[in-house]
Amino acid sequence: MITNNVVERTFRIRYDGILGTGFAIDRDGKQYLITARHVVNGITSGDKISIFHEKQWKEIAVNVVGVGAEDIDVTVLACSAQLAPQHILEASTYGIGYGQLVYFLGFPFDWYSGGEEANRNFPMPFVKAGIISAMVSRDSKLIYIDGHVNEGFSGGPVVFMPNDRSPNKFIVAGVVANYPATLRPVVDSAGKPILNADNNSIAYFPENSGFVVAFQIEHATDLIDANPIGFELPSEQDG
């Protein structure tokens, strides 16, 4: 079962008309919102993003902590308010391996999931599962997951439970980026491609490849460590 330390950190977000998912992590006493770069493409410090709360979109001001370089589809934001409770959720790929069962959370197709009464008036994220198919190290730090993801999951967390941990101690290991799509020709009732006068297919449609592409969470934590400007969390003494 996906536990509160994951669910209560996952948010339905919108920026410049683009819908996606973001999630919060805490690092050195500060909180940060992580998402895919393409979900908030072009965002600058002082801009506002919208977060779905109490069945409506609410704006919140953000500063840009860092943006992934080149093809790294990760952006880290510092919000002007605390978004998630201070549940412990470690951010690391340590302990993950080939064939590892993982879960990814998000908000597909602009579907409304409801469940606010169980999640501090935030909608409950959808949950999907897959296994680690491959991990590419070096600069890319990519994770390939054997699973199906849909539009709207971009920016969501990839979480797993290491074998050496007690039950329900999830770790966030990655950020959902996209899924490779294969173009298929439109066919007729007999399954044959419909061709035009030039003997070319009249149209193609993208088919989900069954792979999820995610970037390892270290891309986000490296950006945070280089510019630690997150929302200052209250200390235990502050109550």
pLDDT value, residue 5:
93
In whole angstroms, give the CA distance from residue 141 to residue 72: 9
pLDDT-based confidence at 1, cuts 50/70/90? confident
Q: For the domain that residue 157 is a member of, what is the CATH number?
A: 2.40.10.120
Could you write out the DSSP letters of every residue in 39-69? Answer: GGTT--TT-EEEEEETTEEEEEEEEEEEE--
Q: What is the pLDDT of residue 223?
A: 97
Alpha carbon distance 95, 100 (integer Å): 10
Query: Taking phi first (over 0 means left), then psi (-120 to 50 degrees means alpha), and beta for anything else, what does residue 48 get?
Result: beta
Give the closest residue to 231 by CA, choosing from 18, 27, 20.
27
Asked whether 3 and 119 are in contact (CB, 8 A), the reply is no
- Collapse the DSSP code of 133 into the 3-class scheme (helix H, G, I; strand E, B; otherwise coil) and give the result: strand
| pLDDT tens, residue by residue, 186-210 | 777 777 777 788 778 777 656 556 7
**Residues 6+ away with beta carbon under 8 Å from 85:** 4, 8, 120
- pLDDT mean over 101-118: 90
**pLDDT, position 180:** 58
Domain count, the chain: 1
Its domain, for residue 196, covers 4-238
Most confident of 107-116, 136-145, 172-181: 107-116
